[in-house]
């Protein structure tokens, strides 16, 4: 299990059993690279644990993500990261990163 320092996920589920983990981190611009490195770590795990399975869930894929980065003010950046997947993907993500 790898602890996440910046990403604190909220979980939701749709009627088709797909889950979504949403996280938002607002930091000083000097820390944004650390947040993005954490996102990259999670995505590298997803890609290695579920290779060739990324894409729209409605098309039968097992996981997908959305990443946004905005400058809120001269001294604040916000990274918004959503990671969704099938029930087995979500269970594996929870186990790997100790998510509730």
Does residue 2 fall inside a structural domain? no
- Residue 5 located in a structural domain: no
Task: Decide if 93 contacts 85 (C-beta within 8 A).
Answer: yes
CATH number (domain holding residue 19): 3.30.70
Contact 10, 99 (CB under 8 A): no
Q: Tell me which residue of 48, 67, 56 sits closest to 18, measured CA to CA.
A: 56
3-state secondary structure (DSSP) of residue 97 = helix
Structurally, how many domains does the chain consist of?
A: 1
In a domain, 93, yes or no: yes
pTM for the structure as a whole: 0.94
Residue 17 pLDDT > 80: yes
Which tens digits make up the pLDDT trace of 59-80?
999 999 999 999 988 999 999 9
Instruction: Round to whole Å and give the CA distance between 30 and 42.
Output: 21
- Quick check: is 22 in a domain? yes
Q: Which domain holds residue 85?
A: 10-97
């Amino acid at each position: 299990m790898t602890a996440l320092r910046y990403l604190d996920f909220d979980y939701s589920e749709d009627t088709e059993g797909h889950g979504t983990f949403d996280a938002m981190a607002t930091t000083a611009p000097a820390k944004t690279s650390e947040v993005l490195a954490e996102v990259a770590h999670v995505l590298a795990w997803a890609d290695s644990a579920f290779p060739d399975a990324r894409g729209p869930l409605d098309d039968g894929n097992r996981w997908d993500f959305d990443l946004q980065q905005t400058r809120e003010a001269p001294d604040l950046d916000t990274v918004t990261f959503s990671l969704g997947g099938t029930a087995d993907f979500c269970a594996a993500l929870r186990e790997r990163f100790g998510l509730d």
